[in-house]
Chain A
Amino acid sequence: MLFWLQHKWSGLWLLIFAFGSLTLFLYGFFPLKYHSGKLAHMDDLPNFIDGVSIDGHEVYNSGENSVILMVIDGLRYDFAAEEYMPYTGQLIKNKSACIYVSVAEPPTVTMPRIKSPERKKEKAQWRRTINFWRDIFAMMTGSVSTFADVALNFGAPAVKGDSILRVASSRGRHSVLYGDDTWLRLFPGLWTESDGTTSFFVTDYTEVDNNVTRHLDSVLTPLEDKKPKFDFLVLHYLGLDHIGHLEGARSPKIKPKLIEMDSIVKKIHTAMQTWDRSGVLIICGDHGMRDAGGHGGASPAEVLVPLVVLKSTDFQCPHELGPGPVVAQVDIAPTISWLLNAPIPGDSTGKFLPSLLPSDIRQHLYLLHVNALHNVKQGVPTDTEYYKQFKRAETQFARYLSTGQQSAARIAKEFYDESLAAMSKQLSEATTDFDVFALGLAVVFLYLMLTALVCVTLYSLQPENQRKISVTDKHKTNLGTVVAFAVIFAIIASTLTLTCFISETRSQFCSFGPSWSAVFLASAVALTFAYFLVKIGLEKIRDLSTLRDLNAIDFLLILGTLFHAWSFFGTSFIEEEHMTWYFFWNTLMFFVLVRTIVVIVLYFGKRLSGATEVQEKPELEHRMSDVGVGIVPKWVLLIGLHRYLRTMNQTGDRWLFLPDTADWLNAPENSIYLQAHLIIGTLATFAICLRNIRHMNNHLKIHSVLTILSTLCIFLYRISAGSIRLPNEVPKWDAEQVVQVFWWLLAAQTIFEVITYVGAFPNGNRFVYNKPKAKTEDYFYDNAEEPWNLNDVKLNLARSLTHIMYNQMMLIIVLLMRPHNVIMVPSIYITCLLTAKCLDHKLLDSRPGRNTEGADTLSLTLAHIWIGAVFYFYQGNSNSLASVDLGSGYVGLSEYSPVRVAARMGLHAYAGPALSGAHLFCSLPYTDINRYRQAVWRVTNIMALQRVYQVVIYCVIAIIFRHHLFVWSVFSPKLLYDFVATIFSVQALLTIAEIVCLTHVVSWISRCITYRRVT
Chain B
Amino acid sequence: MFTLNNHLELRRVTISSLLTCIYLPSIISVISYKGILYSVGSGSSFYILVLIFIAELIKSFYLSSNNEIQSKKNKAKIRVSDILKAFGFLLGVTFCFFLGIILFGAPVLDKHEETLMLSSLLTLLSVFPLVAHTGVELAMQLLFGVKHFSKDTIIAMLVNNALLCVCGAWIGAVVIPLDWNTPWQQWPIPCYLGAIGGYLLSNVMTVLKVTMMSASHKYKFLNFFVNIINKLHVSK
Residues of A within 8 A of B (CB): 570, 572, 575-576, 579, 582-583, 586-587, 589-590, 597-598, 601-602, 605, 636, 639-640, 643, 646-647, 652-654
Contacts and interface: CB of A to CB of B under 8 A. Distances in A.
A378 B190 CA distance: 56
B104 A586 contact: yes
A602 B108 CA distance: 33
Contacts of B25: none
B174 interface: yes
Nearest to B174: A583
Interface string B197-222: 00000000000000000000000000
Given A587-B170, A598-B144, A605-B146, A572 B103 contact: no
Contacts of B144: 597-598, 601
21 contacts: A572-B177, A572-B179, A576-B177, A579-B177, A582-B105, A583-B173, A586-B105, A589-B104, A590-B104, A598-B145, A598-B236, A601-B144, A601-B146, A605-B146, A639-B103, A640-B103, A643-B102, A643-B104, A643-B105, A646-B105, A647-B108
A590 B100 CA distance: 9
B35 to A, nearest CB: 22
B79 to A, nearest CB: 26
Interface in B120-157: 144-146
Name which of A583, A602, A605 has the most chain B CB atoms within 10 A of its CB.
A583
B69 interface: no
B173 A643 contact: no
Given A597-B144, A601-B146, A643-B102, A572 B178 contact: yes
A116 B193 CA distance: 31
A598 B236 CA distance: 11
A636 B103 CA distance: 9
Contacts of A647: 108
B105 A602 contact: no
Contacts of B236: 598
Contacts of A653: 179
A590 B105 CA distance: 12
A73 to B, nearest CB: 21
A755 B38 CA distance: 69
Contacts of A598: 144-146, 236
Nearest to A636: B103
Contacts of B103: 636, 639-640, 643
A605 B145 CA distance: 11
A652 B176 CA distance: 14
B104 A654 contact: no
Contacts of A590: 104, 170
Nearest to B180: A572
B191 to A, nearest CB: 12
Interface string B155-199: 000000000000000100110011100000000000000000000
A652 B179 CA distance: 11
Contacts of B179: 572, 575-576, 653-654
Considering the complex of A and B, which 5 residue pairs feature the smallest CB-CB distances, nearest first?
A579-B177, A572-B179, A601-B144, A576-B177, A639-B103
Nearest to B106: A643
A653 B178 CA distance: 11
Given A587-B170, A597-B144, A598-B145, A654 B177 contact: yes
A643 B179 CA distance: 23
A590 B101 CA distance: 11
Contact of B104 (A575, A576, A602, A639): A639
A605 B108 CA distance: 35
Nearest to B234: A552
Contacts of A572: 177-179
A575 B179 CA distance: 10
Given A582-B105, A639-B103, A646-B105, A602 B177 contact: no
A647 B146 CA distance: 36
Contacts of A589: 104
A621 B220 CA distance: 49
A82 to B, nearest CB: 36
Nearest to A647: B108
Interface string B215-231: 00000000000000000
A717 to B, nearest CB: 33
A127 to B, nearest CB: 12
Given A576-B179, A590-B104, A640-B103, 18 more contacts: A572-B177, A572-B179, A575-B179, A582-B105, A583-B173, A586-B104, A597-B144, A598-B144, A598-B146, A598-B236, A602-B146, A636-B103, A639-B103, A639-B104, A643-B108, A646-B105, A652-B177, A653-B179
Interface in B36-68: none
Contacts of A605: 146
Interface string B1-32: 00000000000000000000000000000000
A597 B146 CA distance: 11
A379 B102 CA distance: 62
Nearest to A576: B177
Nearest to B170: A587
Name which of B108, B174, B178 has the most chain A CB atoms within 10 A of its CB.
B178
A832 to B, nearest CB: 20
A479 B129 CA distance: 74
A427 B173 CA distance: 49
A587 B174 CA distance: 12
Contacts of B104: 586, 589-590, 639, 643
Contacts of A576: 177-179
A116 to B, nearest CB: 16
Nearest to A601: B144
A400 B108 CA distance: 82
A597 B105 CA distance: 21
A572 B104 CA distance: 21
Name which of B105, B144, B177 has the most chain A CB atoms within 10 A of its CB.
B177
Contacts of B105: 582, 586, 643, 646
Contacts of A639: 103-104
A597 B141 CA distance: 12
Nearest to B105: A586
Contacts of A579: 177
Nearest to A582: B105
A580 B151 CA distance: 39
A522 to B, nearest CB: 42
Nearest to A639: B103
Contacts of B108: 643, 647
B95 to A, nearest CB: 14
Contacts of A646: 105
Name which of B103, B144, B174 has the most chain A CB atoms within 10 A of its CB.
B103
Contacts of B177: 572, 576, 579, 652, 654
A590 B179 CA distance: 26
Contacts of A602: 146
Nearest to A593: B100
A399 to B, nearest CB: 62
A265 B38 CA distance: 47
Name which of B105, B108, B173, B236 has the most chain A CB atoms within 10 A of its CB.
B105
A582 B103 CA distance: 12
